[in-house]
C-alpha cells in the first residue's frame, strides 16, 4: 500500500484538516498521478499532483520526495540558538548552540518516544493524555520528596489540626499510605499556610525553603535539633528556657 503526505496550503488544507490518502501498491511512479487515492477518514477518492496548486477540483497537492529533501536546507531549528543568540530560523547561518532551559522538577514529565494517534492529535481530536505515555518518577514526586518530610517536621497533630483531617489519617500518610486526590490537595494547602512565611511562587519552592530554614533549628540552651516545633520556638523544653535565661542573667551580672 502507498501513502502520501498532503501539502498544507492556505485555502486548500489547514493543520486541523484530517486527510490521509492511500492507494494500492504500485512500483511505477509515472502511474501514481493517474491512480485513485482514497482518504481513510471519509472514503472519498482523489487524484494527486506534485504542483503547488492543483488544476482540477479532485486533485490534492502532495509533497514529492525531492521537495521534502530540499526543505531540509532551510529547516528551522527552534531547539537551537544562532550565532547572534536568537532562536534559529530558516535564514540562520553559522555555528548553532543549544538553547538554555530552566525548569523545576515539578514541571518535568517523563514521556515515552511512542507516537500514538498522531493524526488525531494534530487535528485536535484527542487530548495529550490519550497520545503520550507518561512515566512517573518517584524521585521527582513532590509528595515523597517534600510533603512527607514537612509533615514529619511539623508533626501529624499540627498538620491534622490545620487541615481538618483526622490525626490517624495523617499518621497513615506518613507511614506510606497513598493519599486520595482530595486528601492530597487538603494536605498541601494546609502545609502552604503552615510553612509560608511570605508568598512564594509555587508549593515546591515553599516546602523546600521551609525545610532549609528549619534544618538547622536547634535549642539555644542544649543545642539539640528541634523536631516538630514551631519556627518561633527556640527551646526544646521549659527547663532549657529557664537555663538559658539564668545564663543570660549571670552574664549580665558579671
Return the domain boundaries, the chain: 2-63
Judged on CB neighbours under 10 Å (0-12, 13-18, 19+), 134 is exposed
**pLDDT bucket at 16, cuts 50 / 70 / 90:** very low
pLDDT at 14 over 80: no
* Residue-level pLDDT at 25: 92
HSE-up of 127 (CA within 13 Å, CB side)? 2
Does residue 228 or residue 78 have the better pLDDT? Answer: 78
pLDDT at 138 over 80: no
pTM: 0.39
* Residue-level pLDDT at 40: 86
Range in 23-32, 122-131, 175-184, 198-207 with the lowest mean pLDDT: 122-131
Whole-angstrom CA distances from 221 to 20, 122, 183, 227 are 77, 65, 39, 15
* Residue-level pLDDT at 154: 83
Does residue 105 or residue 149 have the better pLDDT? Answer: 149
Does residue 65 or residue 218 have the better pLDDT? Answer: 65
DSSP letter string, the chain: -EEE-B---TTT--TT----EEE---S-GGGGGGS-EEETTT--EEEEESSSS-SSTTEEEB--HHHHHHHGGG---TTEE-TTSSBP-TT--S--EEPP----GGG---B-S---SHHHHHTT-S-HHHH--B---GGG-HIIIIIHHHHHHH-HHHHHHHHT--HHHHHHHHTTPPPPHHHHHHHHHHHHHHH-SS--S-HHHHHHHHHHHHHT-B-TTT-PBP-S--TT---SSHHHHHHHHHHHHHHHH-
* Residue-level pLDDT at 197: 53
Amino acid at each position: 500500500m502507498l501513502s502520501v503526505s498532503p501539502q498544507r496550503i492556505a485555502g486548500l488544507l489547514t493543520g486541523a484538516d484530517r486527510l490521509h490518502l492511500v492507494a494500492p501498491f504500485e512500483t511505477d511512479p509515472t502511474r501514481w498521478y493517474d491512480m485513485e487515492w482514497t482518504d481513510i477518514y471519509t472514503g472519498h477518492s482523489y487524484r494527486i499532483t506534485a504542483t503547488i496548486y492543483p488544476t482540477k477540483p479532485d486533485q490534492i497537492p502532495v509533497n514529492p520526495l525531492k521537495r521534502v529533501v530540499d526543505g531540509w536546507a532551510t529547516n528551522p531549528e527552534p531547539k537551537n540558538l544562532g550565532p547572534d543568540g536568537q532562536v534559529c530560523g530558516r535564514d540562520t547561518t553559522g555555528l548553532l548552540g543549544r538553547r538554555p532551559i530552566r525548569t523545576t522538577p515539578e514541571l518535568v514529565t517523563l514521556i515515552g518516544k511512542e507516537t500514538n494517534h498522531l493524526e488525531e492529535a494534530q487535528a485536535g481530536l484527542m487530548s495529550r493524555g490519550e497520545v503520550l505515555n507518561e512515566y512517573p518518577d518517584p524521585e521527582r514526586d513532590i509528595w515523597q520528596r517534600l510533603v512527607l518530610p514537612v509533615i514529619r517536621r511539623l508533626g501529624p497533630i499540627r498538620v491534622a489540626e490545620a487541615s481538618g483531617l483526622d490525626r490517624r489519617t495523617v499518621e497513615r500518610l506518613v507511614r506510606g499510605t497513598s493519599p486520595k486526590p482530595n486528601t492530597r490537595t487538603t494536605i498541601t494547602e494546609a502545609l502552604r499556610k503552615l510553612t509560608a512565611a511570605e508568598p512564594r511562587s509555587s508549593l515546591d519552592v515553599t516546602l523546600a525553603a521551609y525545610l532549609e530554614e528549619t534544618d538547622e533549628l536547634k535549642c539555644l540552651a542544649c543545642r539539640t535539633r528541634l523536631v516538630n516545633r514551631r519556627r518561633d520556638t527556640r527551646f526544646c523544653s521549659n527547663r532549657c528556657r529557664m537555663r538559658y535565661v539564668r545564663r543570660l542573667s549571670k552574664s549580665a551580672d558579671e
